[in-house]
């Protein structure tokens, strides 16, 4: 069962022919021979590399993106609207009595 799951992960994300290929450094690439003797931590190095890439590169770029900034701005406008404050005050009265 582990071997089947490992092969599914490899073929979906790590193979050069993967449908949803993940960008990992060349030296971190695995070849199919590792699938013959799977173990629970076989993808850990790649997972750590991808997490760090997301944390230090993708996420910081996302926080500066127009899409995120526009969404954040619209949320702040909703929070500051008179309707939102009225609802918050009503909720406060209900739960604090």
Chain mean position to CA 25: 18
Instruction: Output 26 or 17, whichever has higher pLDDT.
Output: 17
Q: Strand, coil or helix: what is 97? A: coil
pLDDT tens-place string over residues 21-63: 887 776 556 777 888 888 888 889 889 988 998 899 899 999 9
pLDDT tens-place string over residues 53-91: 889 989 999 999 999 999 999 988 887 776 655 666 666
What integer pLDDT is reported at residue 67 of this predicted model? 94
Going by C-alpha positions, the residue among 75, 71, 80, 2 that lies closest to residue 43 is 2
> Exposed, middle or buried: residue 3 (CB in 10 Å: 0-12, 13-18, 19+)?
exposed
């Amino acid at each position: 069962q582990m071997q089947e799951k490992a092969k599914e992960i490899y073929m979906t994300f790590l193979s050069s022919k993967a449908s949803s290929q993940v960008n990992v450094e060349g030296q971190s690439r695995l070849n199919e021979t590792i699938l013959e003797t799977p173990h629970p931590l076989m993808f850990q190095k790649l997972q750590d590399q991808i997490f760090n890439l997301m944390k230090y590169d993708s996420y910081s770029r996302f926080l500066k993106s127009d899409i995120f900034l526009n969404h954040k701005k619209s949320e702040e406008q909703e929070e500051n609207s008179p309707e939102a404050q009225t609802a918050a005050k009503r909720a406060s009265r209900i739960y604090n009595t």
